[in-house]
Amino acid sequence: MKAEEVWILLPISDWSNAEYGLVFGFTTWAIDQVLERMLQSDEMKSCSCESWVAEHGHILPPLKATLLFIFSFAIILGWPNLILDKTPTKMKDPRPHLTVFIIVLLFSFVSCVSHTEEDFLQCLQLHNSASIFKLVYTKTNSSYSSILKYSVHNHRFATKTTPKPLVIVTPRHASHVQATIICARRHGLQIRTRSGGHDFEGISYTSRVPFVVIDLIKYRKIEVDIEKRTAWVQAGATIGELYYRINEKSKTLAFPAGVCPSVGVGGHFSGGGYGFLIRKYGLAADNIVDAHMIDVKGRLLDRKAMGEDLFWAIRGGGGASFGVILAWKVKLVSVPSTVTVFRVKRTLEQNATKLILKWQLVASKIHEDITINLILQRVNSSKKGELTTQATFEAVFLGGKDQLIPLMQESFPELGLVKEDYTEMSWIESVVFMIRVARSLSYLLQRNPTSVQTNYKAKSDYLRHPIPEDGLDGIWSLFNEDEGKGVFMQLFPFGGRMDEISESELPFPHRSGNLCLVLYLVFWQEEGDEAAQRNIHWLRRLYSYMEPFVSKSPRAAYVNYRDLDIGVNNINGYTSYKQASVWGEKYFKNNFNRLAHVKTKVDPLNFFRYEQSIPSLVSKSHK
């Protein structure tokens, strides 16, 4: 048989689309077979490809895509004819073949993603019982969207264009998490771990590369031991659930964490965690005595097994850089049977500026049993058609009003509190009081308490010196702009116990010398990129305006108020320590270097990575 009589070597211009499809299908199958056999060979098994997989993903999909690309391109150029030294006498219009080429490319990449997802699911089944599939959701599952959206609190990341996970795993047992990590590593998928879903930049459930979400919503058991004054709380529980369960056992024990009840303990504690007990007992992370986590090798570790360096790192350094936190053992703290609260509001017309100036001098120096939070918002003025700024002063005091009244008269008489402003209640009731919208203790158990779909952007700062009066006036001017209608600016005081803990005690370094933590939030209801960009741009202007008044070298930030504006890693490639330190030193100051050394020890190939994960110090040449 002559070569030119063989169908496969006919001039390319004479091929039909059906023939293209047949050849492509056969070639795809052949490439699959060759690559699978190659990867199962003894030579490949002995080759250490782990670093490549950790950096780029599983080796099979990109190899397959590359070979299909070369094959398709060869078809377009007519390489078979060149091999035979046979040039067609008449070439047809190449555009139909270009269309086929594009379709081939799309199919190859889609098939690779599908291949990875199928392999991941098969791997899960091999490493766990079939029952795990009752806890696994793919995009073809009818519950996939509801599971994904349930814990999305920032609706900037609930759009049609937001990247979605290939698979959501909702574990009930540590073995489910172990299998997920092992299989994600093996098949080149990244991990996102979601506890409560409050990450301000959506990092716990979005990614620009193929990924799996470990959603801990079903991993939320809480065990309170009153005699030992401790509690084990699984990472999928919320701080509201923790408070509620503590109160069931004792009215005089508490835990020093945040205010928002639907925040998950997994992320909140691993970033520090603060609330109205901060000046008495420090951060949530300061009161953690043990932890359970799964590391990159799929091992279940407690404090003893992980060692003190890793235990240090996950208490304030962001646990998701090092593994998956499963549970915390926390030390409970004492509170009196009666606490006192107040909340008073003052506008600019009611001398709010002068009161804020005094608050800056008092709030971090007053007795550690009281925390006075300050919230700034734009409101309508009593003058028709005009706007003003309202300052809300709200406090929790660990004691009765008879003790608090003379303390406030001595330290902050300008606030003008009267006896009716003070309310005595239990500590758990003060938690509900500070939520503002809550009416009963059962509110603490609601994981998704509002149906309002709100978009927001946040940034943070630390004040080490008071903002002068003319500086405050500039803030009020910005508040009066159109985008200022959605602003929420909170100044939360430090001092007390925070002044007694060294910067290196935990990764959270913002201790002595800080007057307060500043949170900037802007909310908007409008949908679409234009509204988002307009409001985000306004918040960035406010942040820029604040630069002269806040901490410097570095301008510090709070890791639990995630802000990608301050710097990001290369999400699907090597990130140097120098590049990551741009944002890392803002969150962790001098502790960032130690965090990087811990990361290098426990996850040298940087499997657990995201936009602001701690980098490994393993050089690019060794990956």
In order of their start, the domains of the chain are 3-127 (no CATH), 130-218 (3.30.43.10), 222-334 (3.30.465.10), 339-424+452-549 (3.40.462.20), 567-622 (no CATH)
pLDDT digits (tens, 9 = 90+) for 125-172: 888 766 788 999 999 999 999 999 999 999 999 999 999 999 999 999
What is the identity of the amino acid at 49? C
Tell me the CA distances in angstroms from 254 to 224, 398, 426, one per residue in order. Answer: 11, 12, 11
Q: What is the pLDDT of residue 41?
A: 45
Hey, which residues does 324 pair with through a beta bridge?
A: 294
In contact, 194 and 214? CB cutoff 8 Å: yes
d(CA 264, CA 494): 23
Closest CA to 566 of 523, 520, 598, 618: 520
The residue with tokens 């030579």 is 43
Hey, which residues does 343 pair with through a beta bridge?
A: 394
Question: What is the DSSP pairing of strand 516-524 with strand 455-463?
Answer: antiparallel
d(CA 559, CA 508): 9
* Helix 60-77 / helix 17-40 crossing angle, nearest 10 deg: 150
Closest CA to 291 of 265, 242, 330: 330
Question: What is the DSSP pairing of strand 333-334 with strand 253-254?
Answer: antiparallel
Task: Band the pLDDT of 52: cuts 50, 70, 90.
Answer: very low
The residue with tokens 């430090």 is 494
Q: What is the pLDDT of residue 191?
A: 98
Q: Is residue 503 predicted with pLDDT exceeding 80?
A: yes
Q: What is the pLDDT of residue 133?
A: 85
Q: What is the pLDDT of residue 61?
A: 52
Backbone angles phi, psi at 48, to 5 degrees: -85, 95
Backbone angles phi, psi at 291, to 5 degrees: -155, 155
d(CA 278, CA 494): 7
What is the identity of the amino acid at 277? L
Task: Band the pLDDT of 85: cuts 50, 70, 90.
Answer: very low
Task: Band the pLDDT of 573: cuts 50, 70, 90.
Answer: confident
pLDDT digits (tens, 9 = 90+) for 378-435: 999 988 889 999 999 999 999 999 999 999 999 999 999 999 999 999 999 999 999 9
Question: Per-residue b/e over 476-506, b at no fewer than 16 CB within 10 Å?
Answer: bebbeeebbbbbebbbbbbbbbbeebebebb
Q: What is the pLDDT of residue 499?
A: 98
d(CA 237, CA 240): 8
DSSP 226: T
In contact, 28 and 111? CB cutoff 8 Å: yes
* Helix 60-77 / helix 95-127 crossing angle, nearest 10 deg: 170
What is the identity of the amino acid at 268? H
Catalytic residue numbers read: 561
Q: Is residue 470 predicted with pLDDT exceeding 80?
A: yes
Q: What is the pLDDT of residue 45?
A: 38
In contact, 311 and 291? CB cutoff 8 Å: yes
Question: What is the DSSP pairing of strand 211-215 with strand 167-169?
Answer: parallel
Tell me the CA distances in angstroms from 558 to 18, 63, 295, 457, one per residue in order. Answer: 59, 41, 25, 14
pTM: 0.84
The more confident residue out of 393 and 53 is: 393
When mean pLDDT is compared across 226-240, 377-391, 465-479, 488-502, the lowest value belongs to 377-391
d(CA 60, CA 53): 10
Hey, which residues does 523 pair with through a beta bridge?
A: 456
pLDDT digits (tens, 9 = 90+) for 577-618: 999 999 999 999 999 999 999 999 999 999 999 999 999 998
